[in-house]
Structure 1
Amino acid sequence: MTGGRPGALDGPAAAPEHPARPTTPAPADAAVPPSPADRPRPLHEPDPYSTPPYGGPGPWAPAPPVQHPVTTPAHGTPAHGTAPPAPAPAAPAPWQRYDPWSAAPLQQTGAAVETREQRRRRGRRVLVAGAAVIALVAGGIGGVVGAYLEREGGIGGGGVELPQAGAESHTRPKDSVAGIAASALPGVVTLHVRGSEGAGTGTGFVLDGKGHILTNNHVVEPAGTGGEISVTFSGGETARAKVIGRDSGYDLAVVKVSRVRGLKPLPLGNSENVQVGDPVVAIGAPFDLANTVTSGIISAKERPITAGGEKGDGSDVSYVNALQTDAPINPGNSGGPLVDSKARVIGINSAIRSADGGSESEGGQSGSIGLGFAIPINQGKRVAEELINTGRATHPVIGVTIDKRFTGDGARIARKSQNGGPAVTRGGPGAEAGLRPGDVITEVDGRRVHSGDELIVKVRAHRPGDRLELTLERGGDERTVTLVLGSASGD
């Protein structure tokens, strides 16, 4: 150890690990605060550079280090030996809070002096960073507010958004009305007829892939012999059609389109299997509203009806042992299909009952009142086959003339025919079965007959060659006879 101030170390004073923080010298008589090793360690070691409040050392600040004379390189290095007496230390400058907007340089002993330009640059950086943060926060808040306003209908709740079911499959069960309609509609057509006898609209349905279409006779009748028939399919395609054959007695007709691809024939059911109460769907073009679908049930079977008769000579009267339905049928539905739950045709919609008890042709009110009638498909199939194969349909007959003036129960055979000849045709089915003028036929195959028209309906529901059992009254006695139906050509 060399000479010098007692307690001084040999050689240059060791520089502290961190720059010394200026402190206010404690009075000579003040107690020396304990060193950091003498006191409990706080939970977090104090930062030796942290600024204590109000510029003074904090309660946990370390004791001031021993001061040694230090000469900056500009003033030389102290020589070895006895150090000159240290000058009295100047009063250390108090710690100041950093003010980025202050024009005065930062006063801090042992630290580099920050210039005004550096403070300005730092201030700009702080300002730019703050603006960026504000922009990000504002953008996030704006997005949240925008989403809320969109959901709630805008400021003030002016818009309304109602709950709604999501998208669902368009597929429906095959036996539902929608499923039946989807299956049958492609085979249904709308007919527009124009000719010398007028114009009209009706419905028909495709029978086969050759272009044959079945409809009512009264639908195509206005075309006459030189008229025009236009067929419109469910998809909107149109084609010209020509009449293959028609029959007023059955009120059925077949027309044909040519060079049409993608035809969708409808499957034919069996009208003998139909029961009262069975669900049915009617498809047609009521009042020219194509592809109209209505539904209902079978209200009755074997309902004897007559329709037509506009000419007054009876030649255009049709006799139908009809299926009755409450499915709405209106003008324009004529000729359209009545289908069952498997989309099979069981009838051809042909007639309606009007509210005032008359038909539309008789001046009655048009429109459905839930009383519609369809030709059974078993009868329609037979007639359609004959019209396609020969151009004409055959009618089953019993070879007798019916007395239309009879008002009793049953069908009475007239005394003479309309032309004055015999009422029972010689050699006909009735004559061979033993029928006589004046006999009253009361049953056909065990089913009651109440009028002459009803007898004709029952007979025409069969084919020529079918065997019938008739119950009749003669002179107060009841007897039963059997006959084989004959055949007559229709118009």
Structure 2
Amino acid sequence: MSTENEGTAVPPAPSAPPVPVDAPAPAPGAAPEGHAPSAGNPAPTAGGVPAAQLPPAPPGQPGAYPAAEAGWPAPAGPAYMGGDGGAGGVWGASYQQPAPKPKKGRGGLVAAILVAALVAGGVGGGIGYQLAKNENSSGSTTVAAATSGGDVKSSSGSIAAVAAKALPSTVTIEAASNNGQGGTGTGFVFDTQGHIITNNHVVAEAVDGGKLTATFPNGKKYDAEIIGHAQGYDVAVIKLKNAPSDLKPLPLGDSDQMVVGDTTIAIGAPFGLSNTVTTGIISAKNRPVASSDGASGSRPSYMSALQTDASINPGNSGGPLLDARGAVIGINSAIQSTASGGLGGSGGQSGSIGLGFAIPINQAKYVAQELIKTGKPVYAKIGASVSLEDSVGGAKITDRGTGGSASVETGGPADKAGLKPGDVITKLDDRVIDSGPTLIGEIWTHKPGDKVTITYQRDGRTHTVDLALGSRIGDN
């Protein structure tokens, strides 16, 4: 198969799954792409980091998970793709999956992704932590880069000019839990009221009463509070306390209009090196990516990502991905890491290998606005449980949902459209669907109420049906 923007087949996915840039590290073999360890918090050892993978399958369903109706597993382990809460925690569209493994075919990277924000201390920061520890014996991981180049003036529209204008509106975020564990990520100014957009996994440690600060390139630091966070989307909004009156929000672009080959500029704090600017291009669009921070019981995040070869490392999570004009087109969230070696092992790769993934800003903007408005994320759903098996050529509606419940939610969008267990969804509008996670990511690029066309196979025949996506207000 091919991606929407390419006419040739996409090569098989890399041998190891992508990892979020700023979160606790997964098991050896997958490295977090996110938080850089905070100074004073020792990096965990290779043997002390929890595996970045979904919890064991529910009893009686070997190797399978109910699909998250909003797009991610429920607290007990089942993942959902867009449904309402009900008995057993089903959100409307559950999926069932085998052990996580890299996807092929369309080039979808559906596996445990390392979160970009490194969480220092006993929780685990994965490879990012190990690298920071090895290369900075002093324990300090935050180095402020110069923001001016002397008297040399950059031409308008140059990368230097874009960076000079955008840097003052980016922040380095430090999040710490009540027990002092935490790490470093990135964020950017969303409005003049002091709202900052970042990744959910960047601020996760501070959700339950922890400490959160945001530091601007000029050295000014502000305490901050979490306004809302959406684990499924991996988007969070924080607000500066006593915010300055001269905040300049970064302009938002149109991620739908980006094409493969367009210039990209990333700003973040890789391995704690604040105010770092890197460049690249859009390598692909609509790349299916599933990420997990590796924490026990955590739900995965799903995105139909912008892929870029701009250098992104642990600490870049939550930072802006800009176009050539300096408009935000995405939020840097995850990276692909090579297979073996894991946490500092001989064969692993813990930093950028040119495969980074960003949440499209068109989606993130909507999520952020909902979080600011209500503090709660809103997820689109179809109300059906789908398999995560990658051998069925699409997203197969399972025979049963979470806890033995019906796999098609009664009265939900899928039910009203006549979809049944055993149907294999192969397209959503013009997007090819090769798996359950791919379907979740595509559903979440839409808003509740959007009308979509579903193409599916039943008994060897292809059918199409139109349906209006339902909604679920999530608790995170």
The equivalent position to 1:208 in structure 2, one of 184, 188, 191, is 191
1:186 maps to 168
**Structure with the bigger percentage of helix:** 1
1:217 maps to 200
1:14 maps to none
Q: Equivalences for 1:283-298 in 2 at 5 Å?
A: 283-298=267-282
Does 2:238 match 1:235?
Answer: no
1:59 maps to none
2:403 maps to 419
Q: Which fold has the larger relative contact order, with Cα–Cα distance below 8 Å and residues 6 or more apart in sequence?
A: 2
SS of the equivalent of 2:367 reads helix
Does 2:453 match 1:473?
Answer: no
Q: Which amino acid aligns with 1:470?
A: I
Does 2:244 match 1:255?
Answer: no
1:438 maps to 422
Q: In 2, distance between residues paired with 1:361 and 1:189? A: 28
1:343-398 per-residue CA deviation (whole Å, 9 max, x = no partner) reads: 10000000000122799899963210000000000000000000000001110000
1:454-486 per-residue CA deviation (whole Å, 9 max, x = no partner) reads: 111111111101011011100111110110000
- How far did 1:196 drift? 3.7
1:239-283 per-residue CA deviation (whole Å, 9 max, x = no partner) reads: 100000001000010000122322121011110110100001000
1:332 maps to 315
Q: Equivalences for 1:59-78 in 2 at 5 Å?
A: none
Q: Percent identity?
A: 51
- How far did 1:294 drift? 0.3
2:41 maps to none
**Structure with the bigger percentage of strand:** 2
Taking only aligned residues, the RMSD between alpha carbons, in angstroms, comes to 2.1
Residue 309 to residue 292, structure 1, CA distance change in 2 (3 Å): closer
2:249 maps to 265
Which structure has the larger Rg?
Answer: 1
1:7-42 per-residue CA deviation (whole Å, 9 max, x = no partner) reads: xxxxxxxxxxxxxxxxxxxxxxxxxxxxxxxxxxxx
- How far did 1:322 drift? 0.3
Q: Which amino acid aligns with 2:409?
A: T
Q: In 1, distance between residues paired with 2:167 and 2:395? A: 42
Q: Which amino acid aligns with 1:484?
A: A
State whether residues 201 and 293 of structure 2, in contact with CA within 8 Å, keep that contact through their aligned partners in structure 1. no
1:282 maps to 266
- How far did 1:171 drift? 1.8
Q: In 1, distance between residues paired with 2:227 and 2:344? A: 26
Residue 254 to residue 270, structure 1, CA distance change in 2 (3 Å): same
Q: Which amino acid aligns with 2:272?
A: D
- How far did 1:172 drift? 1.1
1:486 maps to 470
Residue 346 to residue 482, structure 1, CA distance change in 2 (3 Å): same
Q: Which amino acid aligns with 1:453?
A: P
- How far did 1:168 drift? 8.9
Q: In 1, distance between residues paired with 2:296 and 2:274? A: 32
Task: Calculate the TM-score normalised by the size of structure 2.
Answer: 0.66
Q: In 2, distance between residues paired with 1:404 and 1:226? A: 35
Q: Which amino acid aligns with 2:172?
A: T
- How far did 1:312 drift? 5.3
Stretches of 4+ aligned residues off by more than 4 angstroms: 357-364
SS of the equivalent of 1:180 reads helix
SS of the equivalent of 1:419 reads helix
Segments of structure 1 that go 5 or more residues without pairing to the other structure are 1-166
State whether residues 286 and 332 of structure 1, in contact with CA within 8 Å, keep that contact through their aligned partners in structure 2. yes
Segments of structure 2 that go 5 or more residues without pairing to the other structure are 1-148
Q: In 1, distance between residues paired with 2:468 and 2:230? A: 23
2:362 maps to 378
The equivalent position to 1:304 in structure 2, one of 288, 308, 321, is 288
Does 2:302 match 1:322?
Answer: no
Q: Which amino acid aligns with 2:308?
A: T
